[in-house]
Structure formats: structure tokens, C-alpha cells
Chains A and B, each alone.
Chain A
């Protein structure tokens, strides 16, 4: 009876663990299976092709002529164009596009109304557009707005930005669990077998009583000495390593209140760093751009393009971040106006130099002409910015030793260069040779 009982419990455990394991694997498969849903969007646009007109040509024309002031589905500097054919007659639209000023001057009621509504911003005349071309543009803008398919399908990733990380953890946890289970199973099997053995009277071989390893180790003084030295050295090294990293925050990558992607701005769109960080040119601070700088562009960029979205971050995710910007600046995209209700953003500072070290951005950026990336790393590839350099004194000094000063075209350096190069007998001078290692230059 006993035997049966034992076998039963073991097999049950085994079975359970296998089921458990499988259930997790299944979940894992479900996560990977999301991708195909995205595909729906592209086909959607082509399917909904209303009436006459060449949509492709219309899109090209729209992007080159209209997009500066109009968006198809929302207000910008001018009104949203979707639905314009319902609001106005085709002939009215044609003459408005060809010469809007004339229509306003002639006192056309609709024309004047629009003119007034948009703060008397005149729309330039486009006499070069033919009726057919206008038809193409209309065809393009009158496509129904693509329903946000991705919103439902991609919901999972939208809020959990680090989906990949979670699944990895889950796999690791499962592996650990399985190993633990295996250990338990082995132990149980062993125990069961022993029980069998004792029950069936099998003599188990008794282990020979050998001298324990630790005892022989303790008796060997040489070994103890060597080990002690090794342990001391190793712990010394570790303590040194620990203290050397105190205050060094290399790789520090905090979560910012608004997910601002340098990859999109500096990378994909190639925006010059100093467009936003303008004070780096003249001041010791590079400056966190004030939000009005963001609004220079984001007044008309209310959402990101489909192509901007990545596997990790969806279009909806980015659009939500732009909404945060609007909230902070008090911009009402529907009214295209500031509400006056503002909420300053508390960014988390990443690069911190201690107070006793003086660093001047303008000296490095404007005078030395150093690329921002030299210290800040591949910023144009960073989705979330992290501290690339250790920002230690050794790191500063090293660069000062190695970097040749750009003296060409700088009048100030002409004479100094001549005299210094004679003195050191070199053609190129490093920052160190110019006095870049003097303590008082940075600590005073």
C-alpha cells in the first residue's frame, strides 16, 4: 500500500509541474503574436478611396503646398480640410484656392467668415493649381480618417513600455522555478528509492569515512596563507571598486516626466542640438530648452507619423506624450490657442558636476568646436537619454591631454600658437599644453 501511495504522489507532482510550465510557455507565445495586427493600417488607407481624383498625386501636392498650414483631420493655422467639399461648393473652393484675397475683398460672406475666424491670416494664392489638381488634393483629404486600429491591438504595449523586459523576467522566473522543481523531484525520487531499498531489505553501500576536505585545508598552512592573501586582495579590490564608483553615475537613465525622444528629434529629424539647447553657445549651461521652443514646431505637429512608431513605443504612446506637452504649456489644439493654464515640467537632471568643478559649455562648444556627442554619447540614437561619460576628473583630464586645439581661423590663438609650438616643438597643441591642466582653471 505504501508503495502505491508514494508513486502516486510523485507522478502527480511531475504532472502538475509540466502543466504549470506549459501554461507559461503559452502566455509567452500570445505576446509574440501581436505583430500582424499592425498590418491592417496600411491597407486601410488604400481601400478607402472615394470618388474621382488621383490620391497619390493629391498627397504629393498636399505635402508640398498645403501641409505647412493645413492638416487633413485637425485644425492648424488653417482649418482642417477633411469635409471641405461638404462645407463649400467645388467652384467656391477653386476660386478660393486660386485667389482667396480677391474673394475676401469682394465681400464673399463665407470667405470673410473664414478670414475672421483664423485671425485674419491670409492664405497665399495658388493660381498654378489646375482644377484637376485641386480635385486630386480634395480626393486625398476627403479620405475618411483611418480608424485607429492599432489602438486596440497595441494597447498592451502602449502602457507597458518595457514589454520585452517583462517577458524576459518571466522566462527567467519559469526557468528558476523548473530547476527548483527538478531538485525537489530528484530529492523525492531519491528518498522514494531509498525507502524502496529499505523496505525490500537492500543493503545500501555505506560511505567510507574520509577526512573532510576543510580539515586538510586548515592543516595546510601554506594554502591558508595564500588563500588569505587572495581573499584580502580581492576584497581590497572590491572595496576600491566600490568607492571609486561612488558619485559616478555613468549610465544613469532616469524616467522623465515627458518621454522626449532624442532619437526622433536629433536622429531621425536631424534637428541641430543647439536649436533647442541654444544657451550652450553663449553660456556655461547648455540649458534645458524652455517649452516655448518645443511649441515652435509642436504647434503644428500634434501627432507623430505612423513611421515614427517603433516596436517598443507605439504612435499612440508618442501622441500621448505630445499631449503632455500641450498640457504643460496650456495649448488647446482644438482652439489653436493658449489657455493660460500652465504646468511647468520637472525634468530629472542627468548630468551633474559637483559644485566645486567649473565647466563652461560655450568654451567647449563655441570656441573649441567640440561635437556634443563627444561627451554626451550617441545622443541621436537614445530613445531615453542616459549619462554616457563617467564625468570624472580623470576623464576630463584625459581628453584635455589628447585633444588638439583647433587654432585655425581663430585670431586669438595665432600668436600663442606660434610661440607655444616653438616651445614644445610640435605643430599641433593639446588643450593641456595650453594650460588645460591647471587646477585653478576648473577649481577656484
Chain B
């Protein structure tokens, strides 16, 4: 079955006449390495300044000098502790449970510290079932040591002491006329909510606006209208039998992410069963790549699909006019969902309250055990209407003071220009920030905040599940937490640590200590973290109207753009993290960039091209994207197999310019296209001049002619046939005789006898692997793997120790492929 299938990683590989592909299968580098040229040319040799080349110079004329320098052993000094802390043994790592809660990533983690320095983030296994550490969380330890961090408080561009800062801000706040606004990230922290309430009590006239750069407003509104709490339904995919996703990349950052571990559990055949996963989507996503059946549809069609699906499940009449093939797929999906019953679940990423209301209704109708509405997620609180209202009010001058914490609206708001202009005119503006970013630069005061590994905190993940944040290192710089500042300005002399302890004092000392040790605990919130529900004006959403709205939604003109977040970059907070920049995207295998993904047909129509140059590196065309009065110029184009025709995709989180190293200022900022916080937009695309150089490893990394190590089979064959039918041991030719690779004769090493005693091996269940790439970053962090930069990646000199290859598959010929599609 698998033998007549062709696997390919790049479109170039389908070109039988491509010499680059042929060469790369045999050699690591496609081009001759120009050693002679380099060494022969005196000028280039002497102008080269790297030490490795210098060594070659030594070899040229003075070997003695080079070798003598190596003979002298260095004198190494060792400085022991004066008073060694009781729990520290040099050479043995200590682990602390803490929590990341940066407004985008919420995860309970275990931090490995060496002699008081955090060096690695691990999963907190005690928090099983909740969000695990993804690539960004793993990389966050490097952001702690970021030299671009704000090191001390600043007032009007001058460094000041905290005493001066408190005095100046205090005086300014006293004399303020107009409203005081707290514009914050989602903290989901009971203590912070309590503190903000106290702050409001002290200053009167305070408005708290929660802003998520990447909004889940539609889902929040739908949930609130149905269940009354502003929260997100929680899903336990480990209970799922059939999963239908309509545009939800739930293995990545959909609704805060963290669902991959549960999903992976059902993908391992157990008692002959696996979950079935059907994905309707426009961009090629991780979830789509993992799906059993993936149907590429444009966002507009997704709405219709969801409406039809609701119709088929609820039995209500549908007025859908889906194309026949797509309708068949929806009918099949509906019947499989019905068959799965309470093990079925539907999820959707459509940024539309109607669509989200339908999802909740379908899952209710199925009686889905997967969806949990009683214990919903609290880690997204952003309110799109409130943010829009705030910008309006800022423009008309009714805001007297604004305190901005944990967000960078001057970069990430769709209407950031208006925001920036209004911000300059506000009397008192304070940015609580780790970076001197776009927003902080415009504020009069910058309060240097610590990294989460230097902070205290409590987080309400779901209604009943809590997590504590504790510092794992003494603050590196002269920083102070947002909450500590509020406490100070409230006139309290407590530290935030004492404040949190007081909030949870009803737990008792023992339970507190256990909770701090475990990092997580269950309970009930002493304070509601949801922003006041009275803001909510929308009535309950009628599902039948919603279905009608969806199926009759008029299509706009141009391409349908789906804005998404990359697994490496998220909303762009850690854009200054080289590990994340260099991490190849799991699907496009490109690093150091964002780009417009487009289908082959559309690209051909627009005369856009992708081509591999002689050394295997990828080049692509540029386009200009226009949406109303917004125009993004020179966006590189990447032709993505599997992209729905008529749709395009672009990642948020790139194109940052302030508070970031020059090398990391890559990509284009897509937030201006994120109008009304809707990830789906209609845009016009036209070709622009020039060629973009990608840092993509998708062609260069090959299997070196060992294609037979790729294994794929169906559940049926796995259940019924012998192991050799689907997992034959690969063979190599030894003296012209095919020999199994496991045979000791073909082994390069003289192997040790492993019959007796304990021996360790590492095996990875590729069924459970979703391709999220967290292991790549974890390996960087554990082994100190260097970052090489965009230019070197282009030359296929990437140094990642772990390489997660992505393969497209097709029949032997394209004709066979099309046959299969029918």
C-alpha cells in the first residue's frame, strides 16, 4: 500500500529533471565547497576576519606559533560560595514549579535551575491535562537574559530611581483630570483582579480594559451569551472519538492552545482504536497535517460548512448551497459525529460569534464529553469592543492617564497609528514593560518589569484550576512588578508576594506550601478574574438565526486572507528571541520570516513563483497586499501545497521595530490587516518587483536516498496484518547482498553486549507527535545549541540537532493523485 506512494518535501522534488534534488540526495551541500578558490585567493584570505580562517593563516606560514599557543594550559579560577545555600549542591540542578502567563501563553512549568540560574523549562507533569510547554514557553528562558530589556525605571527618557519614579507618577496621578485607564494583558489572576479593584477604589474614575493582541472575542462572547461567564469552553481531546474542526488549528494556538497532549493520546492505537479527525481549513496547518481527512476550503465556505453541519446534526433545515463534493464531506462528517455521539466534538476557529455559538450548540446537541463548559478556560479575557471604545475615547481626549501593562498596542493594534497619536497627547502615560517597545517609547514613564521567572503571581487557568508563579532567580535588573507598583501607589507597604499569600490565606499554610511546591492546585476563586459582566450588552444568540447568518453571509471581493500565529512566534512578544526566529515553521520549514502562503493555482494566475537556486535555497516573489486603505508592501510569497484555492495566509507577530535586535527585525507586520480583531479579511493582491530570499530548509535536508525509512499505514492494516507488512526492517546492500540494517555486520561500531543489565534507549512514538517543534527548542536550551542566522540557514548550515521533517505525499504520478482525490 505504502510502496506506490511518493513522498516529497518540496515541490522541486516532483521535478524529475531537477539536478539540485539529485545532488542533494547524495551530498550535504549542493555546490562544491570552494576551498581551493578561497585558500588560493590571497586577498579574500587576508580580508577574512573569523578566527577559524585565522587558524588557516597560521597553518600557512607559522605552524609553530599556532601549536605553541595551544600548549599553555589556562589557569582556571574557582570561586565557591561564602555561605552555601542549604538546598544547593554544586552540579545538581534544582527544580521549581512556576507559571508563565504573558497574556498569550499560559502554562504551568517546571524550571531547572543551576546554582540559582534558570536554564531550562520543563513540563510540569503535576499539571497534567492543562497546557504544556510549547516552543515559545521553552524558549522563554532565553528571553530572561535578553540584553534589550529595560534595566531600570525611566521618566521622560531619563533613568530614575524607583523612589523618584513613584513620586513623579504619584504626583502626576494625583493631579490628573479625566479618566484613569488600565490597559492590560489577560492576567487571569485573582490577586491582580483584587488589586485592580482596590486601585479603582482609591483613584475613583478608573477603567480596566483587557486587551489580547490576538483576540478570542467571538468565542468569549458566544460562551458568555450561552453560559453567562466570559470564558472559553475547555476541551479534553483525550476523550474524543471523532473530531471535526472547521478552521480551528487546535494543535497550535487556537483559543490559547495546549490541546495537543490530550489529542495525542487518542492517536495511539489502543485496543485497535484511534480517534478520527476531519479538518476543514484554508491554510495548511499542523492540525490539518495531522488530520485523517483534510478538506481545503476557503473561510467563506467554512461558514457554510459549519451551518450545514449544524443543520445535519440538529436536523434543522439548511438552505446551504455547498458544492456537491464538499456537501458529501460534510454529510460524512455529520454521520461520523452522530455515530461517535458523546465522544464527538466540533471546534471552529472562525472569528464570528455566530459560528462559535453554533459550535457550542452542536457540541451540546451531541452531548459531547470532550467539551467542558462547567470548568471553562479563563486565560483569554480581551474585549474587542472595550478596546475600540478606548481608542475612541483617547482620541476625543476624555482619558487623563493610561497605565499599559504587558501589551504593546502601538505595535499590535490594527489601528495602531491612531492609538499612537492619541497616546502622545495623554497627560500621564505609564508603560509597564520589559522592552523599550513601540508603546513604551511613546509613554512618559516606563516601569521596568521583571520577567516571569523573576516574579510572583497566581493564575486561574480554568474556573477550578489555579497555578502559582514564583521567582526562580533574584531580579537581574532594577525592576518591579506591575502589581508591586499598584500596591505601592495604593499606599500599601506589602509586597505582592505577601498580597497573594493573603488572597489565598483561606487555604491554610500547609496547602499553600503544597500548592507552591506543586505549582498547581484546585479550588475556587476568591475573586472573579473576568472583567465586570455588566459590560456585556449582547443578547443571547439564537442558533437558527446564527446558522442562517452564516450560510447566507455574502462573499467579499478578492482573496480571503486568514491571519494566523506561527508556532514559533505567537503574537510576537518574544520576537527578540533568536531560538524562536531560527526555528523552522513545522509546515513551510522556513525560519526568520513571515510570508503570504498561497495555492499553486493562484500563484500561477498571478505569475508568482518560488524557485530553488543552485545551492538548494528558496527564492520567492513579492506581492503588495491591499485592504481598503491599508497596504502592506513587499510581502514575500510562499507557495503552499494544500492551501485552499482563493485563500491566502499570513502570520502575525513579525515586523517589530522597537526594542529588538537589528538581526531580529524580520518579516512584515500583519496587524494592520487585523481589522476589528477578525482573523479573516478580504484583500487584494498584486505582484511586486524583486525576489525574496527565504531561509527555508525544506529542500536541503534530505533523507540521503533512504526514502524507505518513511512508514505509513492504515489502522486496518495495523490491526490485522503482521508487523512486517507495514514496518519492514530497512535493508542495505552489503557486498551486493541485501542485509537488514539491524544486522551487526553492517554496523559501523563493534557493539557491546547488551544482554545483561540496564540499557537505555530513546524511542519516540511518531503517532503521538503532532510536529509542534517544542522538542527542537528544548534541545537548544538543554544543549546550548548555537544560532547561526538567516544567511547561514539559507546555505543549509542550520545547527538544529533535532529535525522534524514534514512530507507531502502523493501517488506515483499526478494522474494517480487526481484519481485518488475523486
Contact = CB atoms under 8 A, between A and B. Distances in A.
Q: Do A and B come from one complex?
A: yes
> How many of chain A's residues touch chain B, expressed as a range?
20 to 34
Given A246-B71, A247-B73, A434-B757, A347 B80 contact: yes
Nearest to B752: A438
Interface stretch (B86-94, B166-174, B580-588): B86-94
Contacts of A285: 90-91
Contacts of B753: 423
Contact of B84 (A292, A329, A352): A292
A249 interface: yes
A289 interface: yes
A345 B89 CA distance: 18
A424 B73 CA distance: 42
A329 B752 CA distance: 51
Interface stretch (A220-228, A276-284, A309-317): A276-284
B757 A345 contact: no
Contacts of A278: 89
For the residues of A in contact with B, the DSSP-based class is: loop
Interface string B128-165: 00000000000000000000000000000000000000
B9 to A, nearest CB: 30
A430 to B, nearest CB: 14
B77 A349 contact: yes
A292 B83 contact: yes
Nearest to A346: B77
A344 interface: yes
Interface string B748-760: 0000110111000
B79 interface: yes
A292 B84 CA distance: 7
A298 to B, nearest CB: 13
Interface string B65-76: 000001101011
Contacts, number: 78
Contacts of A279: 89-92
A349 B90 contact: no
B533 interface: no
B506 interface: no
B78 interface: yes
A345 B80 contact: yes
A254 B92 CA distance: 28
B61 interface: no
B815 interface: no
Interface in A109-130: none
B90 A291 contact: no
Contact of A282 (B70, B77, B92): B92
Interface in A262-306: 278-279, 282-285, 287-293
A30 interface: no
Contacts of A291: 80-83
A28 interface: no
A337 to B, nearest CB: 15
Contact of A348 (B76, B81, B92, B757): B76
Given A290-B84, A344-B82, A423 B91 contact: no
A416 interface: yes
A246 B66 CA distance: 14
A423 B83 contact: no
A283 B84 contact: no
A38 B752 CA distance: 65
B89 A283 contact: yes
Given A279-B91, A349-B77, A435 B757 contact: yes
Interface in A199-214: none
Contacts of A289: 80
B78 A346 contact: yes
A284 B78 contact: no
Contacts of A345: 79-80
Nearest to A295: B83
Give the size category of B's interface with A.
20 to 34
Contacts of B77: 346-349
A283 to B, nearest CB: 4
Contacts of A293: 84
A419 interface: yes
A402 B647 CA distance: 71
Contacts of B83: 290-292
B73 A288 contact: no
Given A247-B73, A283-B92, A416-B756, A329 B78 contact: no
A279 B76 CA distance: 20
A349 B752 contact: no
B490 to A, nearest CB: 34
A420 interface: yes
Contacts of A292: 81-84
A434 B756 CA distance: 9
A282 B91 CA distance: 9
A351 to B, nearest CB: 10
Contacts of B78: 288, 346-349
Contacts of B92: 279, 282-283
A328 interface: yes
A7 B607 CA distance: 112
A63 interface: no
B88 to A, nearest CB: 9
B754 to A, nearest CB: 9
B757 A290 contact: no
Contact of B75 (A247, A254, A284, A420): A254
A328 B82 contact: yes
Contacts of B76: 348-349, 352
B82 A342 contact: yes
B816 to A, nearest CB: 45
B740 to A, nearest CB: 23
Nearest to A438: B752
A290 B90 CA distance: 10
Nearest to A283: B91
B74 to A, nearest CB: 9
Contacts of A287: 80, 89-91
A249 B756 contact: no
B91 A284 contact: yes
A287 B73 CA distance: 21
Given A288-B80, A290-B84, A291-B83, A416 B757 contact: yes
A291 B84 CA distance: 8
Contacts of B756: 416, 419-420, 423
Interface in A389-444: 416, 419-420, 423, 434-435, 438
A349 B755 CA distance: 41
Interface in A86-134: none
B256 to A, nearest CB: 38
Contacts of B71: 246
A148 to B, nearest CB: 31
A283 B79 contact: no
Which one of B71, B80, B83 has the highest number of Cβ atoms from chain A below 10 Å of its Cβ? Answer: B80
Contacts of B757: 416, 419-420, 434-435
Nearest to B92: A283
B762 to A, nearest CB: 12
Given A290-B80, A328-B82, 13 more contacts: A279-B91, A282-B89, A287-B80, A289-B80, A290-B82, A290-B84, A344-B79, A345-B79, A347-B80, A416-B756, A419-B755, A420-B756, A420-B757
20 contacts: A279-B89, A279-B90, A279-B92, A285-B90, A287-B89, A290-B80, A290-B82, A291-B82, A329-B82, A344-B79, A345-B79, A347-B80, A348-B77, A348-B78, A416-B756, A416-B757, A419-B756, A419-B757, A423-B753, A438-B752
Interface of A: 246-247, 249, 254, 278-279, 282-285, 287-293, 328-329, 342, 344-349, 352, 416, 419-420, 423, 434-435, 438
In the A-B complex, list the 5 residue pairs whose CB atoms are closest, starting with the nearest: A290-B84, A283-B91, A285-B91, A290-B81, A288-B80
